[in-house]
């Protein structure tokens, strides 16, 4: 899985075993982090077999040790703390959580914690001292980022995979979304007390974010984007999308005014662009503008300054492109980034399995594309 995000002045790109921190305005690479080939034999940091407060048995230890004896680790999710001092990396293959200290150190591995199950989402607390980790069985754990040997706490659970997790600005609530079309708002730290649900989506909810401290935004496989007053469990606005939504990125344009980019589950015209603004207490959306990326299957997107970047795969290699409506990237910049990952084969996850009823408008496109390539060879 590829991670793509911007924390000024650093644009962060992660894929396979490599994380790079680059300047989006020139060819400077600030730093690089490469995963160890075998986490159990890593000389840096401290390795911890992590049991929760409820998982002290020998079977759990053996299961986690078995996970670490599998194939080498591959980056699954990456998250940067708000103060840009800590970086969390969750891996598949050898399932683990790695914590790096970025400042004043230059990417020092502080700790490796084994995971029982594959991670599906990460988010730091505001001060970077705690980390929420969700997994593919629907559980959400809290990890201490200061006491590296502290046992993780099981905070809450869903009945299906959790795709995204947020902490509210005041950290009184944890917000999670899942494959079963639910958005759950839980009190924190008393997470057994469910504050409410934001209900209305008919398919998986793939991504969450905030417009401000009170307004939640969500995108879903039901071809909709919705705004919520999450404290009141109230839907404020529904926007119909041209195709199922996978991810989104926001760029602040002014007071209560944003540019919104939504990654769609469809080939070619895979990005929908909108402007959002508030007028007389009501949020309004501009008409949709579709952006075309004909050569890639988009998997992630991110605003960095005024530029919108889209990451995808071409011939099982990373392709990074800038939206045609954005200012162009510096000369050779995109090629420089792609060259960093040229040795890593990569195939985006098949999202058709996320839907309740199998929905696939990408596989046919890929088959037709392959036939065209073979016809040209002949």
- What integer is the mean pLDDT of 121-128? 97
What one-character DSSP code corresponds to residue 120? E
Among 61-75, 93-107, 196-210, name the one with the lowest average pLDDT: 61-75
Per DSSP, what are the bridge partners of residue 157? 139
Q: Which residue has the higher pLDDT, 124 or 376?
A: 124
**pLDDT at residue 64 tops 60:** no
Rounded (10°) CA dihedral 72, 75, 80, 86: 0
**pLDDT at residue 46 tops 70:** no
What one-character DSSP code corresponds to residue 358? -
Reference 268, options 291, 245, 243; nearest CA is 291
Q: What is the pTM of this model?
A: 0.89
pLDDT of residue 319: 94
Reference 362, options 269, 275, 280; nearest CA is 269
pLDDT of residue 369: 65
**pLDDT at residue 70 tops 70:** no
pLDDT of residue 59: 57
Among 139-148, 235-244, 350-359, name the one with the lowest average pLDDT: 350-359
**pLDDT at residue 270 tops 60:** yes
Supply φ then ψ for residue 333, to 5 degrees: -65, -50
Q: Which residue has the higher pLDDT, 251 or 42?
A: 251
| Radius of gyration over every alpha carbon of the chain, rounded to an integer in angstroms | 20
pLDDT of residue 69: 59
| Per-residue pLDDT reduced to its tens digit, 157-166 | 999 999 999 9
**pLDDT at residue 340 tops 80:** yes
**pLDDT at residue 47 tops 80:** no
pLDDT of residue 296: 85
**pLDDT at residue 66 tops 90:** no
Percent residues over pLDDT 70 in the chain? 88
- Sorting pLDDT into bands at 50, 70 and 90, what band is 42? confident
Query: CB neighbours of 254 closer than 8 A, spacing ≥ 6?
Result: none
Among 44-48, 111-115, 245-249, name the one with the lowest average pLDDT: 44-48
**pLDDT at residue 146 tops 90:** yes
Q: Which pairing describes strands 108-114 and 46-48: parallel, antiparallel, or unpaired? A: parallel
363 token code pair = 């596989």
pLDDT of residue 1: 72
User: What distances in angstroms separate CA 368 from CA 76, 126, 299, one per listed residue?
Assistant: 29, 47, 20
| Cα–chain center distance at 189 | 24
User: What distances in angstroms separate CA 354 from CA 31, 206, 249, 272, one per listed residue?
Assistant: 35, 9, 21, 21
């Amino acid at each position: 899985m590829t991670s793509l995000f911007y924390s000024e002045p650093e644009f962060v790109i992660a894929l396979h075993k490599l994380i790079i921190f680059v300047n989006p305005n020139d060819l400077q690479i600030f730093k690089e982090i490469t995963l160890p080939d075998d986490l159990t034999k890593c000389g840096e940091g401290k390795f911890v077999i992590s049991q929760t407060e409820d998982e002290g048995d020998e079977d759990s230890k053996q299961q986690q040790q078995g996970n670490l004896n599998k194939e080498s680790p591959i980056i699954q999710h990456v998250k940067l703390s708000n103060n840009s001092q800590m970086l969390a990396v969750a891996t598949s293959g050898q399932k683990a959580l790695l914590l790096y200290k970025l400042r004043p150190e230059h990417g020092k591995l502080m700790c490796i914690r084994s995971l029982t199950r594959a991670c599906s989402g990460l988010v730091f607390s505001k001060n970077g001292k705690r980390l929420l980790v969700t997994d593919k069985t629907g559980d959400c754990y809290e990890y201490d980022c200061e006491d590296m040997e502290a046992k993780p706490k099981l905070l809450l659970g869903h009945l299906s995979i959790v795709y995204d997790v947020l902490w509210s600005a005041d950290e009184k609530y944890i917000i999670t979304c899942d494959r079963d079309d639910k958005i759950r708002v839980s009190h924190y730290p008393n997470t057994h007390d469910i504050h409410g649900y934001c209900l209305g989506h008919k398919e998986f909810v793939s991504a969450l974010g905030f417009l401000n401290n009170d307004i939640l935004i969500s995108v879903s496989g039901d071809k909709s984007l919705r705004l919520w007053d999450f404290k009141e469990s109230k839907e404020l606005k529904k926007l119909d999308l041209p195709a199922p939504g996978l991810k989104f990125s926001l760029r602040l344009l002014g007071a209560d005014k944003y540019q919104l980019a939504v990654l769609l589950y469809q080939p070619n015209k895979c990005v929908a662009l909108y402007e959002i603004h508030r007028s007389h207490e009501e949020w309004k959306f501009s008409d949709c503008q579709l952006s075309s990326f004909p050569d890639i299957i988009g998997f992630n997107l991110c605003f960095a300054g005024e530029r919108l970047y889209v990451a995808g795969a071409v011939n099982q290699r990373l392709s990074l492109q800038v939206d045609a409506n954005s200012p162009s990237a510096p000369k050779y910049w995109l090629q420089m980034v792609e060259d960093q990952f040229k040795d890593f084969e990569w195939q985006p996850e098949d999202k058709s399995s996320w839907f309740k009823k199998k929905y696939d408008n990408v596989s046919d496109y890929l088959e037709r594309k392959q036939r065209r390539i073979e016809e040209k060879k002949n």
